[in-house]
Amino acid sequence: MNKTNLKSYWIKTLVVVISIFFINSVNADVKIKAGKQVSNFLHTIKNIALEKDRSMKLKISDELLDIVDLEFMSKVTVGRQWKTVNDNEKIIFKRKLFNKFIEFIDLHLEDFKEIKFKEKSIKLRGKKLIYVKGSIDTKKIKNLDITWKLSSKENKILDIEIEKISLIKTQKLEMRELLKKYKNDFSKFIEIYFKKLD
């Protein structure tokens, strides 16, 4: 191998090594951010559960809107029909869906006050997803397997899988029949679906 070829070989090798290092560094950064976001989510829920003042509770709960991708969750649960829904109905649906989640926290206050998460692994799933896997302990339930699915770009929670049961898939199944019945009247669907959940 002459000097020119040797130089070219080492330059190519160096570029490959630097590229691998850069990709690994970026991936590590994305994983760290995802782990922190899950911690932020649980910390916020704990604060909601501990707060007694209603107005402060609502203010803290709004912080979850920066952590959870409500648009994605709504789009996936409603399915193809989401494209036909007008902007005002989308806003109403997302707000009601979010409020139901906050009500769920209120119903399980004691459990959420003592919630603890033990992280087991963080893995990239393709270019768009990150899975944060671990287990949760509450006052009543111990060692509950949980997987947080986050978008790698936005670093927002897209879905939560508890004991391999997806929150989004469950929600989608609950809505399916009613969505078929009121496919041409989304406002009516919102009214009946959320009334049924009360």
One pLDDT digit (tens) per residue for the chain, 198 residues: 555 555 554 455 544 444 444 444 446 688 889 999 999 999 998 888 888 898 898 899 999 999 999 999 999 999 989 999 999 999 999 999 888 888 887 777 777 778 889 999 999 888 899 999 999 888 888 888 999 999 988 999 999 998 888 988 988 888 889 999 988 899 999 999 888 766
- Contact status, residue 186 vs residue 92, Cβ threshold 8 Å: no
Cα 11 → chain centroid: 42
Taken in order of first residue, the domains within the chain and their CATH numbers are 3-197 (3.10.450.710)
For residue 139, what pLDDT is reported? 80
Full-model pTM = 0.80
Q: What strands lie across the sheet with 165-166, from one edge to the other?
A: 116-125, 129-137, 144-151, 157-162, 165-166
Residue 91's nearest CA partner among 79, 82, 102, 81 is 82
Q: Which two tokens stand for residue 144?
A: 């509950």
For residue 149, what pLDDT is reported? 96
For residue 23, what pLDDT is reported? 43
Q: What residues contact residue 138 under an 8 Å CB cut-off, 6+ apart? A: 111, 112, 114, 115, 116, 144
- Contact status, residue 132 vs residue 119, Cβ threshold 8 Å: yes
For residue 5, what pLDDT is reported? 56
Amino acid at site 95: R
